[in-house]
Amino acid sequence: MSKLTAGIIVIGDEILSGRTQDTNSNFMSKQLIQAGIKLDEIRVIQDNRDSIIQNILHFHKTYTYVFTTGGIGPTHDDITSESISSAFNEKYCFHPKAFKILEEHYPKGEFNEGRQKMAKMPENAKLIINPLTAAPGFVIKNVYVLPGVPEIMQKMFVSLLRIIEKGSPKKTITLNTNLYESTIAIGLATIQNKYLDCSIGSYPYFNYINKTSGVHIVVSSWSLNNLDNIVEEIKKMILLLGGKSSIV
C-alpha cells in the first residue's frame, strides 16, 4: 500500500449535465499511479457552495493530496476559489503575485473585473503557475486547485507532480486470456487468497468489430517488488483449463 493517497474533486455542472465528458480525472489517475500516489476516490459535484465546502473538508481530512478541477474562471458560475476560502475560514482576496502576473499578461486596459477575479483566492494560498493562459491555480493546505480546461489542467498537473512528495510506482502486469471470466473465476480467487499483498483484477472485453473477446487479468501491487511468481501461477492455471495467455 502506498502511504500517499489522493482524492479528486471534479467541480462542474457541465459534467453532471452530460455536456462534457470528464477526461481530467482519467489523465490524473494514470499520472498518480506512476508517481506512487494511490487514488482512492473521485467525486463529481455541482457548482454549489455548500457542496464544495463539505466535500473539500472531507477530502482534506481523508487523503494526503486533494486535487480539484474546474470553477476558477472569471464568470459568476466559477465559485470554487471563494468556496474553498470559506471551507478553511480564509479571507477571499486578491493574491498580489497572481494579480501582477495577470496584469502583465493582458494588454493595457484589458485587465477587466472578470479577469481580476481570477487573482482572488484564499489569503494564504500559494500559486500554481499556468504556462498557457497565465491565470494560476493555487494550493491551500493539502488541496491543489486546478482549472477545468484539459489542455491547461494537464500542463499544470504535470509540473505539480514534479515538486510534490512521490512514492514508488505501483507494479502492474497485465495478462490476456481467451477463456471466459467465469471459467477462470475459481482459480483466480484461489491465487488471490494466497497473495494478499497484491490485487488481481479481471476485466472482460468484447470487440464487436474484430469479433474478439477475452479477459484482461491485471496483477498489481504497491509493496511487492516481483510479481512474476503470481503471473506464472495464473498462466499455469489458464493452461490447465485449456486456455491460452500472453502478457499484454
Instruction: Specify whether the CB–CB gap between 39 and 31 falls below 8 A.
Output: no
Instruction: Specify whether the CB–CB gap between 104 and 47 falls below 8 A.
Output: no
∠ Cα 156 162 167 (to 5°): 125
Choose which of 20, 154, 176, 178 interacts with its own copies (CB under 8 A): 20
Choose which of 11, 33, 119, 231 interacts with its own copies (CB under 8 A): 33
What is the smallest separation between the CB atom of 16 and its own copies, expressed in angstroms?
5
- Report how far residue 127's alpha carbon sits from residue 132's, in angstroms, rounded to the nearest whole number: 15
Closer residue to its own copies (CB): 76 or 108: 76
What is the smallest separation between the CB atom of 124 and its own copies, expressed in angstroms?
25
Closer residue to its own copies (CB): 126 or 150: 150
| Total interface residues for its own copies by CB under 8 A | 65
Closer residue to its own copies (CB): 149 or 164: 149
Q: Per CB under 8 A, does 21 bind its own copies? A: yes
Choose which of 96, 104, 107, 113 interacts with its own copies (CB under 8 A): 113
- Report how far residue 11's alpha carbon sits from residue 82's, in angstroms, rounded to the nearest whole number: 13
What is the smallest separation between the CB atom of 111 and its own copies, expressed in angstroms?
9
- Report how far residue 44's alpha carbon sits from residue 63's, in angstroms, rounded to the nearest whole number: 16
Partners of 175 in the beta sheet?
A: 217, 247
Q: Which residues contact 155 (CB under 8 A, 6 or more apart)?
A: 130, 131, 132
Pick the closest to residue 153 from 73, 219, 208, 224 (CA basis): 73
Q: Per CB under 8 A, does 82 bind its own copies? A: no
* 154-193: contacts with its own copies (CB under 8 A): 170, 172, 181-186, 188-189, 192-193
- Report how far residue 167's alpha carbon sits from residue 221's, in angstroms, rounded to the nearest whole number: 13
Interacting residues toward its own copies by CB under 8 A: 13-23, 25-33, 39-47, 51, 73-77, 112-115, 117-118, 149, 151, 170, 172, 181-186, 188-189, 192-193, 199-204, 206, 208, 218, 220
